[in-house]
């Protein structure tokens, strides 16, 4: 009742990785935040299947996952399933998945799903996008004297740091930022 939960998943490679976090509300007023960050290299398959079960009234959930992919046959799958049951009046939920494709040959599949069994909710939404570098962002940075390679690295860092900053433990945030830098050594160059 009236509890908060924050969960962060980080997947930085592996030939085949499957992660299935789930959240179930068993009392009113709960608030859950599920964050994920992933980085897939050539030949890697990373799959994240999230399930949020709203069965109690006046609960809130936020799901935010971001990934970067590079190399031939780098493949990620993100499935976000949110169920709002008839008893879950007053639910407020939103799920978001974003993927940055750094090279040709990378593939990101994103499937947000909402199943709503009551019309008495605060809100329910989802968004999903996968794409390459934003030419306008790169142009903006290059117009300020930043070379193209550094501009690309800045865009990737900024894209992923939104999730890193959600951890809330500086030592872990620093370790993850360094792990991202290690991944970026072979990226966009």
**For 16-38, how does the pLDDT look when each residue is reduced to its tens digit (9 = 90+)?**
999 999 999 999 999 999 999 99
Q: Quick one: CA dihedral 99, 102, 104, 106, positive or negative?
A: negative
More confident residue, 134 or 179: 179
Which pLDDT does position 85 carry in this prediction? 98
| Alpha-carbon distances, residue 47 vs 12, 44, 109, 177 (angstroms) | 12, 10, 9, 22
pLDDT tens-digit readout, 136-175: 888 889 999 998 888 888 889 999 999 999 999 999 999 9
Checking if the pLDDT of 129 tops 80, the result is yes
Checking if the pLDDT of 188 tops 80, the result is no
Please name the residue that has the structure tokens 């994920």. Answer: 36
Which pLDDT does position 135 carry in this prediction? 82
Which pLDDT does position 13 carry in this prediction? 86
- The contacts of residue 49 (CB under 8 Å, 6+ apart) are 18, 19, 20, 77, 78, 79, 81
Which pLDDT does position 48 carry in this prediction? 98
Judge residue 15's burial from the number of C-beta atoms within 10 Å of its C-beta, 0-12 exposed, 13-18 middle, 19 or more buried: exposed
pLDDT tens-digit readout, 76-124: 999 999 999 999 999 999 999 999 999 899 999 999 999 999 999 999 9
Which pLDDT does position 122 carry in this prediction? 95
Provide the pLDDT confidence category of residue 187 given band limits of 50, 70 and 90: low
Checking if the pLDDT of 189 tops 80, the result is no
- Rounded CA gap, 123 and 170, in Å? 33
């Amino acid at each position: 009742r009236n509890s908060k939960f924050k969960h962060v998943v980080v997947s930085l490679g592996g030939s085949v990785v499957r992660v299935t976090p789930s959240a179930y509300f068993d009392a009113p007023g709960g608030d859950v935040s599920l964050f994920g960050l992933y980085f897939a290299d050539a030949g890697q398959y990373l799959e994240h299947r999230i399930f949020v079960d709203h069965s109690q009234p006046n609960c809130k959930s936020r799901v935010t996952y971001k990934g970067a992919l590079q190399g031939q046959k780098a493949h990620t799958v993100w499935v976000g399933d949110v169920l709002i049951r008839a008893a879950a009046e007053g639910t407020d939920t939103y799920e978001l998945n974003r993927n940055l494709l750094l090279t040709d040959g990378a593939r990101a599949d994103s499937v947000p799903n909402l199943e709503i069994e009551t019309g008495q909710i605060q809100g329910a939404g989802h968004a999903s996008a996968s794409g390459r570098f934003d030419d306008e962002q790169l142009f903006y940075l290059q117009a300020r004297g930043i070379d193209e390679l550094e501009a690309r690295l800045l865009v990737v860092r900024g894209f992923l740091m939104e999730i890193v900053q959600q951890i809330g433990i500086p030592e872990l945030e620093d370790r993850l930022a360094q792990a991202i830098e290690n991944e970026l050594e072979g990226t966009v160059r």
